[in-house]
Every structure is written in C-alpha cells, then in structure tokens.
A and B are shown apart, each in its own frame.
Chain A
Amino acid sequence: MRARALLGLQVAEPEPLRTRKPGAMAWMGAVLGSGASWRALLYSVLYLPWAVISFVVTVNVWVLGWGLLTYPLWFWVLPMHAGQDGIQLYGDETHQVYLDNPFEIAVTALVGLLFTIATPWIVRALTTVDRLLVHGLLGPSRLVSRMVELESDRGVVVDTAAADLRRIERDLHDGAQARLVALAMDLGLAREKLQEDPDAAARMVDEAHGEVKTALQELRDLARGIHPAVLTDRGLDAALSAVASRCTVPVRVEVDLAERPAPAIEGIAYFTVSELLQNISKHARATWAGVEVWRAENRLMLQVVDNGVGGAEVSEGSGLAGLAERLGAVDGILVVDSPAGGPTRVTAELPWRGAHAR
C-alpha cells in the first residue's frame, strides 16, 4: 500500500495463502510454507536499516545543500558570534583557511547549489533500492505471476464453455423445441379433425409439414454454430467462405495459409471471424467487408475490416469483450480500431500451433 501510494509503484498482489485445512495450525503451516511470507519477512528485516540510511543521507544532503547555497546571506554571522572569519575549510596550528572573501563565498554558494540540485537524484537513487526490494520481495515471483495468469485463463475457458452450453440450450429451447411443440400441437389438432373435417385436417398437416422443415433448418444452423462440419473437413478457407456468404454485406475472404493450424486454434479463429461478421451484419451498416487470415511466424493473424459506422468498443459485457476473453484464454489478443464514423478494423492474434503438434 505504502509503495503504491508514495512510489507510484504497480506491484501485483502476492499470491494468496492456500490453506489445505481450516484452523490456526493449518494457517500457520501455510504461512510457513509460503514463499511469499518468507520474502515478506526478509523485506521487513532489510527495510529498517535501509530506511535509517536513507533518512540520514537525505537529511544531510538537504541541510548541506541549502546551508551552503544561502551562505552569502549568513556568513557575516560567523565573525560576530563564532569568533572566526567564515566557515573553516581547513585548519591546523599554522594554517587556517576560512571562506571569507567574496570569491570563496560565491564558490561555496555554487557548491551548495549543486548539492541542492543533486538532492532529488540522490533521494531517488535511495528509493530505487526500496523500490527494488518491494518489487523483488513483496510482489509475486515471475513463476507465480504466470501461474496466476494461467489459472485465470482456465477460469475463462470454463466460464466460456458454460456460457456456450447455456447459449446452445437457449437456442434449442427457443428454436427447434418450440417448433416441435407447435408441430405436435398441429398434428394433435389434425388427428382430432380427421373424421369431422378432413379438409381442415389436411390444411393442418400441411402446416405441420412446413414446421418440420423449419425445425430441421434450425437444428442444422444450430449444429453449424457449434462446430461446422466443413471446418473439420476442409479448413478455415472453406468454412469462412460459407460464413461470409451468409453475411448481409458482400465479404471478400482471403486465407493465406500453407498448412492448417491445430483444430482448437482453427475453431477459435472460425468462431472469432463468424462473431465479427455477425456484428457487422447487425450493427455496422456497412456495404462492404473483408476478412484476411495469414500466418506471421508463430502467430495466426486474423483481420476483419468493414466500411460501416464504426464506434465499436470492447466494453464490459459486450460481445467483443467476450471475444477478447476467449482469445486471451489461449494467449491470443484482440485489437479493435473503430473510430466513430468508421471504418472498423478488428485484428486478432492467436498463437500458431500446427495441426500435428499436440
């Protein structure tokens, strides 16, 4: 806290204590077993002497600097009260050097000025050591930082999977399931009518037939949304062309890949482009869009551009934020450049993993 408030230092919270069992003994065991606690202890031990040294040096430098700088203003006090002509620079029985003529006074003031100017640097140098101590001993170690990052990524993956399942359930509930209920209802009515009013029954069977076809279409769309068969069979180029053809604006797709990425990366790339194109259909009011996919060394790059109204933001809870999280979970990133008035350019970067590397 002190480091953050006074030194403007960004140090992440150290990793939390992990107790295996509740109770004071378990807590003590966790404290003793935790690297962070020992490092915090070492910090406390080192901090006191260093703080004393810093304090003494700082005070001395300040006093000396200002004292000498203002020497021209108070040198006259010395002959009156201390019985000497000025500050004694050097003295033994035979020689005594006093700073008493105007030139010497001026030089003294100049030295004072140098000290005064140097003071902030000296203080800063002292605090830098403190800063390093805080950083090295109180912050999480590098390995732990990575671990915490991976844990949070894993959480995102689990959350995303749960959200996907919810979405699929919703789509089923609102789509195919509702349609099948309506279909059952139509057929039920038709069966009741069969004897008394065959014409009406025929009409209902006809409607029911239409319902079945729509339900099939919806199931097909849903299955494609989960994982399109063409992606598995033919790869990104074919799958993205299919997505592009369903977009409401004309889309130019260019996939420049010599080999296929790993299925997981391919799936995320497909999903990302498909979401971005859906956004364009819904919000961008564009007349044109382009998708580019290429490989840059060990990264898979995606770029989706459109000439729509722009103003897209990665704000909390937005579709783009969800996408960014999903990409982050596999060490990917999402960059959105969308000034109001357009055009919008969304670039995503995924780590490259080959199809055969597992």
Chain B
Amino acid sequence: MRVVIAEDSVLLREGLTRLLTDRGHEVVAGVGDGEALIKTIAELDAQAMLPDVVVADVRMPPTHTDEGVRAAVQLRKAHPGLGVLVLSQYVEERYATELLAGSSRGVGYLLKDRVAEVREFVDAVVRVAEGGTALDPEVVAQLLGRSRKQDVLAGLTPREREVLGLMAEGRTNSAIARQLVVSDGAVEKHVSNIFLKLGLSQSDGDHRRVLAVLTYLNS
C-alpha cells in the first residue's frame, strides 16, 4: 500500500511513517500543510503514481482550523479512487458529514488517539485504501445520539445497536463477528434485523451499507 501523510507535527509525521513502514507499507511523501498535500498529489497524479491512500491531519498551517478536511474534500472530488483518512485531535460529527457527503467510499475519519492501537489503526488505513470506510466510534456515537430517529433506534436490541455502531464505523460482517466474538451467521442475522427495523433495503457492498446507515441516522 502506498501512502501520503499530511501532518504538521514533525514528531507525529515521523511516528506515522515509522508505524506504517514497520507494517510493510510504503510512505511516498510526507507534507506539513493542506496546500502542499494537494500539490504533491497533483504531481504524483501527473506521473501516474497516485498513492492508494492519504492520511491527513485536520488542523494544519496556515489557519490551524480545518485545512485537512477541506483538502480531503477537494482530493475526493478530483480523484474518486483515492482513499482519504482524516485524523483529528477531536472528532466533530460536522466534519464527518462533510467528508461523507455523496459517498462513503474510501473515506475515514479517526481520532488521533487511535494510532495507539497500532493493529486496528493500520487495518483502518488499509480498509480506506481499498475503498472501505473507517469512522471513529466517537463519531458514530455522536451520530447515533443526535439522530432524530430515536424512537426507531430504541426498538433495537442492545446487541443490534452494537452491531449498528460497528457497521457505521465501516466494519465488515466478519470483522464485526471477530470483535463481538460471535459467528458470521449471527452477525448477518443481526444486520438483516436492523435493516428490517430501520426500513432500509439490504444493500450489497460494505461501503454502500455504511452510507445507507449514515443517511438514515442523519435524515
């Protein structure tokens, strides 16, 4: 997997590089702000060397506000096949909504703290690179808590709510099964129950499923 990292803290940029390299991935470039990120991607694209995924910090110079999110939205428009994983010190459901606008294909939004769980973090980067979704549990919790469908959500069993949360994070059925230590079949049963209760049609493909769930929660 080929990765470009955009992070203004040199310390974290080097840490991320080491972490990914250690797992056998290639860090093609590391930049310190949103503009440099867009420029680097454009240059790589011109050489037909587009990376699989971009890992970007939300807050970068010059304004230290949401450069990362804006750059990510721009990159996703320009290169639909490019995975973009945004890291942030705080999760804001608003940023997630902006990132996910239109499609949840190859997009991720995680708290920076998640890098401590090295394996899970690298899994998330790989998932985004392959066109999947990686949403931070906190974002999902915010979405679930803020959703106006509380009465319908109240109709789910605790287990189904758990599965819904993991689904919204972008995990596959088998990943969910692993996490909850149940069989794949059990997860499939929960998933179809959830879709039935929410009145959504079962869609194939994990990322479309995420989008369906998110749209439902956001509407």
Give the interface of A toward B (CB within 8 A). Answer: 170, 173-174, 177-179, 181-182, 184-189, 191-192
Residue of B nearest to A189 (CB): B118
Asked if A187 and B59 make an inter-chain contact with CB atoms under 8 angstroms apart, the answer reads no
With a CB–CB cut-off of 8 A, which chain B residues contact A184? 113, 115-116
Picked from A170, A177, A179, A188, the residue with its CB within 8 Å of the CB of B116 is A188
Asked if A188 and B118 make an inter-chain contact with CB atoms under 8 angstroms apart, the answer reads yes
Which segment, of B8-16, B33-41, B177-185, B201-209, faces chain A? B8-16
Picked from A170, A177, A189, A191, the residue with its CB within 8 Å of the CB of B64 is A170
- In the complex, besides A170-B64, A187-B116, 11 extra interface pairs with C-beta distance below 8 angstroms are A173-B59, A173-B89, A174-B9, A177-B89, A181-B12, A182-B15, A184-B113, A185-B15, A188-B121, A189-B118, A192-B118
Residue B161 interfacial (CB < 8 Å): no
Which of A173, A181, A186 has the most CB atoms of chain B within a 10 A radius of its CB? A181
What is the distance, in angstroms, from A190's C-beta to the closest C-beta of chain B?
Answer: 9
Asked if A186 and B89 make an inter-chain contact with CB atoms under 8 angstroms apart, the answer reads no
Complex: how many Å from CA A182 to CA B18?
11
With a CB–CB cut-off of 8 A, which chain B residues contact A186? 15
Residue B22 interfacial (CB < 8 Å): yes
Give the interface of B toward A (CB within 8 A). Answer: 9, 11-12, 15-16, 18-19, 22, 59, 64, 89, 112-113, 115-119, 121
With a CB–CB cut-off of 8 A, which chain B residues contact A174? 9
With a CB–CB cut-off of 8 A, which chain A residues contact B22? 189
Complex: how many Å from CA A77 to CA B64?
87
Complex: how many Å from CA A326 to CA B9?
31
Complex: how many Å from CA A181 to CA B117?
11
Q: Is the interface of B mostly helix, strand, loop or mixed?
A: helix
Asked if B118 and A182 make an inter-chain contact with CB atoms under 8 angstroms apart, the answer reads no
What is the distance, in angstroms, from B89's C-beta to the closest C-beta of chain A?
Answer: 6
Asked if B12 and A178 make an inter-chain contact with CB atoms under 8 angstroms apart, the answer reads yes
With a CB–CB cut-off of 8 A, which chain A residues contact B12? 178, 181-182, 185
Complex: how many Å from CA A177 to CA B11?
11
Asked if B64 and A178 make an inter-chain contact with CB atoms under 8 angstroms apart, the answer reads no
With a CB–CB cut-off of 8 A, which chain B residues contact A189? 18-19, 22, 118
Residue of B nearest to A180 (CB): B113
Asked if B19 and A185 make an inter-chain contact with CB atoms under 8 angstroms apart, the answer reads yes
Asked if B118 and A185 make an inter-chain contact with CB atoms under 8 angstroms apart, the answer reads yes
Given the known interface contacts A170-B64, A173-B89, A185-B15, the answer about A178 and B115 at a Cβ–Cβ threshold of 8 Å is: no
With a CB–CB cut-off of 8 A, which chain A residues contact B112? 181
Asked if B118 and A181 make an inter-chain contact with CB atoms under 8 angstroms apart, the answer reads no
Complex: how many Å from CA A124 to CA B49?
82
Given the known interface contacts A173-B59, A185-B19, A189-B19, the answer about A178 and B116 at a Cβ–Cβ threshold of 8 Å is: no
Complex: how many Å from CA A178 to CA B115?
12
With a CB–CB cut-off of 8 A, which chain B residues contact A192? 118-119
What is the distance, in angstroms, from A239's C-beta to the closest C-beta of chain B?
Answer: 30
With a CB–CB cut-off of 8 A, which chain A residues contact B119? 192
CB-defined A-B contacts under 8 Å, sample of 5: A181-B113, A182-B9, A182-B15, A184-B116, A185-B116
With a CB–CB cut-off of 8 A, which chain A residues contact B18? 189
Which of B64, B115, B117, B118 has the most CB atoms of chain A within a 10 A radius of its CB? B118
Complex: how many Å from CA A174 to CA B8?
9
Given the known interface contacts A177-B89, A188-B116, A188-B117, the answer about A182 and B59 at a Cβ–Cβ threshold of 8 Å is: no
Complex: how many Å from CA A182 to CA B17?
12
Complex: how many Å from CA A188 to CA B22?
12
With a CB–CB cut-off of 8 A, which chain A residues contact B11? 178-179, 182
Residue of B nearest to A190 (CB): B118
With a CB–CB cut-off of 8 A, which chain A residues contact B121? 188
With a CB–CB cut-off of 8 A, which chain B residues contact A191? 118
Residue of A nearest to B8 (CB): A174
Complex: how many Å from CA A215 to CA B113?
16
With a CB–CB cut-off of 8 A, which chain B residues contact A182? 9, 11-12, 15
With a CB–CB cut-off of 8 A, which chain A residues contact B115? 181, 184-185, 188
Complex: how many Å from CA A186 to CA B18?
10
Residue of A nearest to B90 (CB): A173
Asked if B19 and A178 make an inter-chain contact with CB atoms under 8 angstroms apart, the answer reads no
Complex: how many Å from CA A182 to CA B14?
9
Complex: how many Å from CA A186 to CA B12?
10
What is the distance, in angstroms, from B59's C-beta to the closest C-beta of chain A?
Answer: 7
Residue of B nearest to A166 (CB): B64
Complex: how many Å from CA A185 to CA B115?
6
Complex: how many Å from CA A192 to CA B115?
13
Residue of A nearest to B18 (CB): A189
With a CB–CB cut-off of 8 A, which chain B residues contact A179? 11
With a CB–CB cut-off of 8 A, which chain B residues contact A181? 12, 15, 112-113, 115-116
Complex: how many Å from CA A185 to CA B12?
9
Which of B9, B15, B19 has the most CB atoms of chain A within a 10 A radius of its CB? B15
With a CB–CB cut-off of 8 A, which chain A residues contact B19? 185, 189
Complex: how many Å from CA A187 to CA B115?
10
With a CB–CB cut-off of 8 A, which chain A residues contact B59? 173
Asked if B118 and A178 make an inter-chain contact with CB atoms under 8 angstroms apart, the answer reads no
